[in-house]
Amino acid sequence: MAESDGQERTEDPTGRRLSQAKEKGQIPRSKEAATAAVLVAGMAGLMLSGRSLGLALLEVFRSSFSLEREAVFDPQLMIEALATHIAQVVWPMLSWFAVVLLAAILGSTLLGGLNFSSQAMMPKLSKLNPMNGIKRMFGVQALVELLKSIAKVTFIGTIAALLLRSNLSHLLNLSVEQLSVGLMDALDLLLWIGLAICCSLLPIVAIDVPFQVWNHTRQLKMTKQEVKDEYKDIEGKPEVKGRIRRMQYEMANRRMMAEVPKADVVVTNPTHYAVALKYDRTKPKGAPVVVAKGVDEVAMKIREIAREHKITQVASPALARAIYHTTKLEQEIPDGLFMAVAQILAYVFQLQAYQAGKGNRPTPLPDELPIPNELRH
């Protein structure tokens, strides 16, 4: 289907397009499925509850024709008799109605599910336009529906003719049976033939359901430009997205900087990189965790906060780069860096003890810490 700009609807509908269509009441529905469900369930319900319903009706007839003459002219007795007759019939009828009602709901919602759309309930003046009505009557969709109806009538009529032909001898034998036996036999045969004719709708349903799904998708297909426009609407304009990213980056930075005062040591490049590490001494099997990291201006801000809170800073360019490139925030350092970081933490803890007057001055760290080649950057 060509659009005004020459583009064709070649793209499958997006989730948003399907959601909007559902809000408007545009969902795939199969009338054939609903009809077949009601007919099959109705016939099956009659087969299950028909005996109790027939016995109830028979009792109503018997009691109705056995009324005494005085009761016929007594309004009070007639009202009581009517109530009794209704009570005798209502429960078998209600069970059958319940089966049919449940089948009608399931058959209607089997394809498309339950959907309540206020937009679909709103009156549309365009539907009152006679020209639009004529177009619908003589349009392609009307022609398709006409062909479907002819095919259905032909198919079901053929099935009915075959069933009658196969049971012709049984039908002819009914005339020689006793009245009571013949009636029961005829009713039984009628129910089975009716159920078989109703079941002949199932192949039609099997064809119609996939067709309705395909047709619904086809009607909602989009052009490439519509997909692009929708993506822009969802994602927003580039400048807005950029501003959101900047705000998110700033918020993440603020949260990260708030963790720097909790660190045990800051490993620096010493100018371009800075990594803040925290080690929980109550968890001997745990590893140091990166609570903050950054380069250039962010690294400078980390060092500044570390100075303000008197966090020990250790210059180790290779280790700072290795931690920065191999470890994410709030993650433990890799196994290969345990030895190097352990030496730095031991140095820091000894230095803190020395500054507190509880130990000797620690031995300076070696110029080269043990860093595996695969973790060097």
Q: How far apart are alpha carbons 60 and 93 in whole angstroms?
A: 14
Residue 333 main-chain phi, psi, to 5 deg: -70, 155
Tens-digit pLDDT profile for residues 104-113: 888 888 887 7
Spell out the domain ranges in the chain: 27-219, 259-375
More confident residue, 37 or 130: 37
More confident residue, 118 or 231: 231
Residue 152 has pLDDT above 70, yes or no: yes
Q: How far apart are alpha carbons 296 and 324 in whole angstroms?
A: 12
Q: H or E element: which one contains 77?
A: helix 75-109
Mean pLDDT of 179-195: 82
What pLDDT was estimated at residue 236? 60
What pLDDT was estimated at residue 224? 82
Mean pLDDT of 317-321: 87
Burial category of 350 from C-beta neighbours within 10 Å (exposed 0-12, middle 13-18, buried 19 and up): middle
Residue 2 has pLDDT above 50, yes or no: no
What pLDDT was estimated at residue 158? 92
What pLDDT was estimated at residue 4? 44
Q: How far apart are alpha carbons 122 and 24 in whole angstroms?
A: 10
Q: Give the model's confidence band at 179: pLDDT under 50 very low, under 70 low, under 90 confident, else very high.
A: confident
More confident residue, 14 or 103: 103
Residue 81 has pLDDT above 60, yes or no: yes
Cβ atoms < 10 Å from Cβ of 27: 19
Q: Is the peptide bond before 334 cis (omega within 30 degrees of 0)?
A: no
Residue 203 has pLDDT above 80, yes or no: yes
Q: Which CATH architecture has domain 259-375?
A: 3-Layer(aba) Sandwich (3.40)
Which long-range contacts (C-beta less than 8 Å, at least 24 apart) are formed by 151-159?
Answer: 152/32, 152/201, 152/204, 155/200, 155/203, 155/204, 156/197, 156/200, 156/201, 159/196, 159/197, 159/200
Angle, to 10 degrees, between the axis of helix 179-199 and the axis of helix 31-65?
Answer: 160
More confident residue, 52 or 313: 313
Tens-digit pLDDT profile for residues 153-176: 898 899 999 988 988 888 888 888
Question: What is the token pair recorded at 238?
Answer: 């580039």
Q: How far apart are alpha carbons 119 and 124 in whole angstroms?
A: 10
Q: What does the mean pLDDT of the chain come to?
A: 81
More confident residue, 204 or 131: 204
Tens-digit pLDDT profile for residues 252-298: 778 888 888 888 888 888 778 889 888 887 776 778 888 888 888 88
Mean pLDDT of 136-151: 78
- Short-list 371, 300, 287, 295, CA closest to 330: 287
Torsion angle of the four alpha carbons 316, 318, 320, 323, in this order, in degrees rounded to the nearest 10: -140
Residues 191/209, Cβ–Cβ less than 8 Å: no
Q: Give the model's confidence band at 120: pLDDT under 50 very low, under 70 low, under 90 confident, else very high.
A: low
Chain centroid to Cα 18, Å, comes to 12
Share of the chain above pLDDT 70, in %: 89
Compute CA distances 347 → 85, 283, 292, 343, 356, whole Å.
100, 19, 20, 6, 14
Mean pLDDT of 295-304: 87
What pLDDT was estimated at residue 133? 66
Tens-digit pLDDT profile for residues 49-79: 877 877 788 788 787 777 777 766 777 777 8
Q: How far apart are alpha carbons 105 and 120 in whole angstroms?
A: 19
Residues 274/299, Cβ–Cβ less than 8 Å: yes
More confident residue, 11 or 244: 11
- Residue found under tokens 């996939």: 210
3-state secondary structure of 313: strand
Q: Per-residue DSSP letters for 134-202? A: HHHHTSHHHHHHHHHHHHHHHHHHHHHHHHHHHTHHHHHHGGGS-HHHHHHHHHHHHHHHHHHHHHTHH
3-state secondary structure of 295: strand
Question: What is the token pair recorded at 79?
Answer: 């009202």
